[in-house]
Structures are given as structure tokens and as C-alpha cells.
Amino acid sequence: METQYTLIRLRIEDPAIADILMTELFEQGYDSFEEHPSGLDAYVATVLFDRAILEQTLASYTDLCAIAIELVEPLQPQNWNAIWESNFQPVIIQNRIVVKAPFHHITETYPHTIVIEPKMAFGTGHHETTAMMLEAMLDIELSQKAVLDFGCGTGILAIFAAQNHARPIVAIDYDPLSTENTADNCEVNNIEGITILLGDQNQIPEGQLFDVVLANITRNVIFASFDRLYNNTAPDGVMLFSGILTTDVPDLIHLAEQYSLRLQQQLTHNNWAMLAFRKG
Amino acid sequence: MAKEIETYVKLNVKGGLANPSPPIGPALGSKGVNIMQFCKAFNAATQHMQGEICPVLITVFKDKSFDFVIKTPPASALVMKAAKIQLGSDQPNRKKVGKITWEQVREIAEKKMPDLNCFTIESAMRMVAGTARSMGVTVEGTAPWA
């Protein structure tokens, strides 16, 4: 279930007081802020919003400058990325994979076609990290291999694995928008049999070994989950990591060395990196 | 030729935890920017500040591409940290009095200098001290210029 947010528009005469109020509201659990010349748009999860507490907080600054609540508006969950998603361009990877939306009509043929309707999930191939993961997967034997896609987003990597006859495939994401979107994209691509799980590393089926482990997430999540991912990798299995910056590469290699993993491939593009390690 | 700028958006978002929900969603999505691309880049750039408030200035270009710069944390957040005070919903912060030293004011001013419209460290320190006072935090001792 997506978090519902409330927008509170505050008119604050003095930018220095706006700065203080932002910090104070942040401490109270407000999520984030957009700054305007006339004040702040504050966003808070609707369940945490209490107008009386907000007014009490503002009251302690009204002797310093003029402050007013201009608007309190609950925001309905919606696809905020809809404009971009409605007109994104197809992506061609290594001249072998095309990632396209259902509305794209492509005349050229490619060995692999993945159809993605992103709906606020990550993974359309436009980002360097997704493209590099797919590029690396092109050189991996996937047929009949067990694959884990940890942080699946749109499901793009799991779907590509399924198209290449990998099985079983487990796709995990902590964001319900992503797991729902993975299920939708499986249907669009006529893919069945991917196990889609909502949650973090604890959702990785205990004891199940994967020949290919894919983790295109962030440095912090990769480091926090590394041990679990390693333990779920089959002997001689391969682990692909991306979502990291080139500056993170030495730290990840160092970590992998502690697990006696062998660096097999390294790709970089525009400050982003993809590292592939082999176990055993 | 430089890309044509459409607009600037200034947001304050939790480091390492950006997602397409508000305000990133409405602020950037309405301008046709790929929010997911921004979240990925922002989270990677702020992973060392996970959960802290990170001001970010985003430039949106006419072609819907974007660029961004991470700014220094708000002066008030740095004062709060230095004074080791915590603000709570039940106690508006000005009732909570904390203390910081002029040395701490200088440290905060030096950190904030790149983002302040100040030409000298002294004027930046005056600004930080003003923020502290508004928060109910006393600056102990005598100002270095007094």
C-alpha cells in the first residue's frame, strides 16, 4: 500500500525562519520539503499529520516573522512519473536487446525484446546501471539456471532471464509498486513462473541456491545484504552488482575479496559501475 | 551549445532514501523528468548521509534532462546537532534552550560558506549565530570581533 501524503503550503516571510521550521518539522517526522521564494511546501505522511501540533510549532515563531498556513491538501497516490513514461524512447543495448513500451512500434528486429510499462518502478534500461546489467547478462549462460533478482524494480532483469530460459527465478523488492509492476510486466511479456516477493533480504528463500544473483540497487543495500546474497549463491555461481558509483568500486572489490570471490567483469559508464564476481 | 534551462527546483529530501513519492513526484514529474533516474542518482550521491536532510538544487533542462547539486545541510540542523538538542512535537523548540560556542559557530559557518551569500567568515558566523538565537540556542562567550 502506497503511503499517502499531505501537502502543507507555508508562507514564511523570513528565509532563515523557514530554514529553522524545516528542521523542526523534519524532526517531527515530516518527510521532505520544496522551497519557494515565499516559503515552503512541506510533505508529511497523512497518518503523521496533526494540525494542532503544526499550529503550536508555528506559533513559537510568529513573533519573529509573519507565518501562515496557505494550504493543507491530502494528495491522492498517483503515477507521478506518468508524463515521462508516456513518451520515453526505446533503448537498444549492444544492438541485441531492445527495451520498449507497449506503445512503441519498432520496425528493426533484435534478438531480444523486453516490453516495460514502468509505473514508477526503476528499470527501463535508460539508466546506465540497468543497461550494464543487461549487457553483462548477454554473456552469461542463463538457460536452466536459478536466478535471483534482488531489487527487481520493473522486473526487467528477471524477465530477460526468463526469456533466456532461466528457472527458477525469484524477484524481490521492498517497494510494493515494484512488485506489482514486475507482475504486470511479466504479463505484458507473456512470462510465467517468476516468484515475486515483497520485502528485504530476509525474503530470500533460506537455503535456496542461485546460479546467478543480480543486485542493481544502491551501495548501502548491497553492503548490508552482501552476506545473505553470498550465502544464497551456488558454488561457481556468479554475482552481478550495480547501482554503485565508480568511487564505490574499490570498497566492493575489497568486500568481495573477503569472501574469496573472483572479479570477472567490470563495466563503467558515466560514473556508474557494474561488477561481476564468481564464487569458488 | 549549453542546454537551455527550463527551471530550477530546490528540494530537501532524506539522503539515500529518495523515492518517487512527494515532493519529488509532483515537483519533477510534472516537468516531464524521469523521477526514477533522479532518485537513483540522488541516492547514490547521498548514501553517506542516509536519513539526514539533504538540500538539493535541481536544474531541469528544456529537453527534460536534469542535473543537480547537493547543498550543505540547513544551518538550523547543524546548530541543533552542535547544541545536542532534539526537537519534539510536544515541545516547540524555543522553549528548549541549548548552548553552542563561537568555535562551533565558526565550524558551522565554514561548512555553510559555499551556500551562503556571504563574502567573509565573519558575516557567515553572524548569520549562523542569528539562526541559533531564533532557535533558542545561546552562543556562549564573546564574539571574536567584539
Report which DSSP code applies to A205: P
Q: Is B72 on the interface with A (CB under 8 A)?
A: no
Q: How far from A266 is each of A132, A179, A241, A269, B20, CA to CA, in Å? A: 9, 28, 10, 10, 29
State whether A68 and A176 are in the same domain. no
The interface predicted TM-score (ipTM) is 0.82
Query: Domain ends where: A82, A112, A141?
Result: A82
Of the partner residues B24, B89, B95, the one whose CB lies closest to the CB of residue A53: B89
Angle, vertex CA B53, rays to CA A34 and CA B80, nearest 5 = 115
Cβ distance of B37 and A127 shorter than 8 Å: yes
State whether A119 and A234 are in the same domain. yes
| pLDDT above 90 as % of chain A | 78
State whether A75 and A99 are in the same domain. no
Contact B20, B29 (CB under 8 A): yes
Report which DSSP code applies to B96: S
| Beta carbons within 8 Å of A105's beta carbon, 6+ residues apart | none
| Beta carbons within 8 Å of A258's beta carbon, 6+ residues apart | none
State whether A71 and A97 are in the same domain. no
State whether A61 and A168 are in the same domain. no
State whether A217 and A128 are in the same domain. yes
Amino acid identity at A74? P
Angstrom distance (rounded) from CA A5 to CA A43:
6
What pLDDT, on a 0 to 100 scale, did the predictor assign at position A121? Answer: 84
Residue entry with cell 518502478 = A121
State whether A99 and A235 are in the same domain. yes
What pLDDT, on a 0 to 100 scale, did the predictor assign at position B96? Answer: 60
Query: Domain ends where: A24, A55, A82?
Result: A82
| Beta carbons within 8 Å of B112's beta carbon, 6+ residues apart | B72, B75, B78, B124, B127, B128
Give the residues across from A112 on adjacent strands. Answer: A97
Angstrom distance (rounded) from CA B74 to CA B135:
13
What pLDDT, on a 0 to 100 scale, did the predictor assign at position B133? Answer: 87
| pLDDT above 70 as % of chain B | 92
> Cα dihedral angle (B13, B15, B18, B21), rounded to 10 degrees?
-30
Q: Which of B63, B8, B66 is nearest to A89 (CA)?
A: B63
Phi, psi of A41 (to 5 degrees): -100, 115
Angstrom distance (rounded) from CA B10 to CA A40:
10
How many domains does the structure of chain A reveal?
A: 2
Q: Cis omega (within 30 of 0) on the bond before B55? A: no
- A56-65 confidence digits (pLDDT tens): 999 988 888 9
> Cα dihedral angle (A123, A129, A134, A140), rounded to 10 degrees?
-140
Work out the end-to-end distance of chain B between its first and last CA atoms, rounded to an integer number of angstroms.
Answer: 50
Residue contacts between A and B (CB atoms, under 8 Å): 155
Of the partner residues B32, B47, B130, the one whose CB lies closest to the CB of residue A84: B32
Q: The domain containing residue A78 runs over which residues?
A: 5-82
Residue entry with cell 496557505 = A70
- Determine the distance in angstroms separating the CA of B145 from the nearest CA of chain A, rounded to an integer: 22
Q: How far from A5 is each of A32, A52, A207, CA to CA, in Å? A: 11, 17, 39
Chain B hits for A272, Cβ within 8 Å: 44
State whether A167 and A267 are in the same domain. yes
> Long-range contacts: A163-168, Cβ < 8 Å, 24+?
A163/A112, A163/A114, A163/A189, A163/A191, A164/A112, A164/A137, A166/A142, A166/A212, A167/A193, A168/A193, A168/A195
| Beta carbons within 8 Å of A257's beta carbon, 6+ residues apart | none
Q: Is B11 on the interface with A (CB under 8 A)?
A: yes
- Determine the distance in angstroms separating the CA of A124 from the nearest CA of chain B, rounded to an integer: 10
Which regions of chain B does DSSP assign to beta strands (E)? 5-14, 53-61, 66-70, 98-101, 137-140
Residue B87 has pLDDT above 70, yes or no: no
How buried is residue A205: exposed, middle or buried, by Cβ count under 10 Å (0-12/13-18/19+)?
middle
pTM for the model: 0.83
What pLDDT, on a 0 to 100 scale, did the predictor assign at position A197? Answer: 98
- B11-47 confidence digits (pLDDT tens): 999 999 998 888 898 889 888 899 999 999 999 999 9
Q: Is B37 on the interface with A (CB under 8 A)?
A: yes
Phi, psi of A179 (to 5 degrees): -65, -35
State whether A95 and A78 are in the same domain. no
Chain B hits for A129, Cβ within 8 Å: 40
Q: Compute the mean pLDDT over every residue in chain B, rounded to the nearest whole number.
A: 87
Query: Domain ends where: A82, A102, A128?
Result: A82
Contact A213, A278 (CB under 8 A): no
Question: Which chain A residue has the Cα nearest residue B25?
Answer: A80
State whether A248 and A111 are in the same domain. yes
Quick one: average pLDDT of A241-246? 96
A1 confidence band (pLDDT: 50, 70, 90) = low
Angstrom distance (rounded) from CA A233 to CA A213:
7
B89 confidence band (pLDDT: 50, 70, 90) = very low
Amino acid identity at B11? L
State whether A43 and A95 are in the same domain. no
Identify the CATH number of the domain in which residue A42 sits: 3.30.70.100
Cβ distance of B92 and A60 shorter than 8 Å: yes
Residue A87 has pLDDT above 90, yes or no: no
Quick one: average pLDDT of A113-124? 89
State whether A74 and A141 are in the same domain. no
Cβ distance of B134 and A20 shorter than 8 Å: yes
